Structure 1
Amino acid sequence: MSTFADNIRFLRGKRGLSQHAFANDILIISRDRYSKYESGRSEAPYEVLIKISKYFNISIDLLLTVDIRKYPLEDILKLPDNRIVLPVVVDQLGNNSIEIVPQKASMGYLSGYGDPEYIEGLQRITLPFLTNGKYRAFPALGDSMPPFKDGSYIIGKYVENFDDLKPGKSYVFVTLNDGISYKRFTSRNTKSITVAADNSFYKPYDIPLEEIVEIWQYASGIFPEDFEPENFDNYNLKDMFLELRGDIRKLDDKVSTIK
Structure 2
Amino acid sequence: MKYKTQKIFFAANIKFLRERRKISQETLASSLGLTRAKVAAIEAGNTKSPQPEDYLNFSDFFKISIDTLLKVDLAKLGEMKIRELEAGNDVYIRGGNLRVLAISVDKSNNENVEYVPVKAKAGYLSGYNDPEFIASLPKYSIPNLPVEGTFRIFPSVGDSMLPVPEGADIVAQYIADWTLLKADTPCVVILKGQQDFVFKMVTVNTDGTIRLRSLNPTYKPYLVEAADVMEIWRFYAYTSREFPEAQTEMSTVLTAIKKLEDKIQHISEK
**1:171 aligned to 162, 184, 187, which one?**
187
2:149 — aligned with what? 133
2:6 — aligned with what? none
The answer (yes or no) to whether the contact 1:106–1:139 under 8 Å persists in 2 is no
**2:104 aligned to 74, 79, 89, which one?**
89
Gaps of 5+ in 2: 1-62, 64-93, 259-270
In the TM superposition, what is the alpha-carbon distance from 1:137 to its structure 2 partner? Answer: 0.5
Residues 193-239 of structure 1, C-alpha deviations (whole Å, 9 max, x = no match): 11200010111111101111100000011213xx1113579xxxxxx
3-state DSSP class of the match of 2:124? helix
Query: What is the identity, as a one-letter code, of the residue corresponding to 1:172?
Result: V
Distance 1:80 1:188 in 2: 12
Distance 1:200 1:146 in 2: 9
TM-score normalised to structure 1 length: 0.56
2:45 — aligned with what? none
In the TM superposition, what is the alpha-carbon distance from 1:83 to its structure 2 partner? Answer: 3.1
The answer (yes or no) to whether the contact 1:145–1:183 under 8 Å persists in 2 is yes
3-state DSSP class of the match of 1:93? coil
Query: What is the identity, as a one-letter code, of the residue corresponding to 2:125?
Result: L
Query: What is the identity, as a one-letter code, of the residue corresponding to 1:206?
Result: L
The answer (yes or no) to whether the contact 1:101–1:139 under 8 Å persists in 2 is yes
3-state DSSP class of the match of 1:210? helix
2:243 — aligned with what? 228
Residue 162 (structure 1) aligned with residue 178 (structure 2)? yes
Distance 1:230 1:145 in 2: 15
The answer (yes or no) to whether the contact 2:178–2:204 under 8 Å persists in 1 is no
In the TM superposition, what is the alpha-carbon distance from 1:81 to its structure 2 partner? Answer: 7.9
Distance 2:225 2:96 in 1: 15
Distance 1:83 1:199 in 2: 32
In the TM superposition, what is the alpha-carbon distance from 1:189 to its structure 2 partner? Answer: 2.3
In the TM superposition, what is the alpha-carbon distance from 1:175 to its structure 2 partner? Answer: 0.8
In the TM superposition, what is the alpha-carbon distance from 1:171 to its structure 2 partner? Answer: 0.4
Higher relative contact order (CA 8 A, sep 6+): 2
**2:122 aligned to 72, 86, 107, which one?**
107
Query: What is the identity, as a one-letter code, of the residue corresponding to 1:192?
Result: T
3-state DSSP class of the match of 1:104? helix
> 1:1-259 alignment to 2 at 5 Å?
83-130=98-145, 131-177=147-193, 178-224=195-241, 227-230=242-245
The answer (yes or no) to whether the contact 2:95–2:231 under 8 Å persists in 1 is no
Distance 1:108 1:217 in 2: 21
Aligned length: 161
Query: What is the identity, as a one-letter code, of the residue corresponding to 1:121?
Result: S
Distance 2:110 2:212 in 1: 33
The answer (yes or no) to whether the contact 2:96–2:231 under 8 Å persists in 1 is no
3-state DSSP class of the match of 2:110? coil
TM-score normalised to structure 2 length: 0.53
3-state DSSP class of the match of 2:118? coil
Residues 110-157 of structure 1, C-alpha deviations (whole Å, 9 max, x = no match): 112111111000011121211321000011111111133332211110
Gaps of 5+ in 1: 1-53, 55-78, 234-239, 251-259
Q: Residues 136, 81 of structure 1: CA spacing in aligned structure 2 closer, same or farther, 3 A cutoff?
A: closer
The CA RMSD over aligned residues, in Å, is 2.9
The answer (yes or no) to whether the contact 1:83–1:213 under 8 Å persists in 2 is no
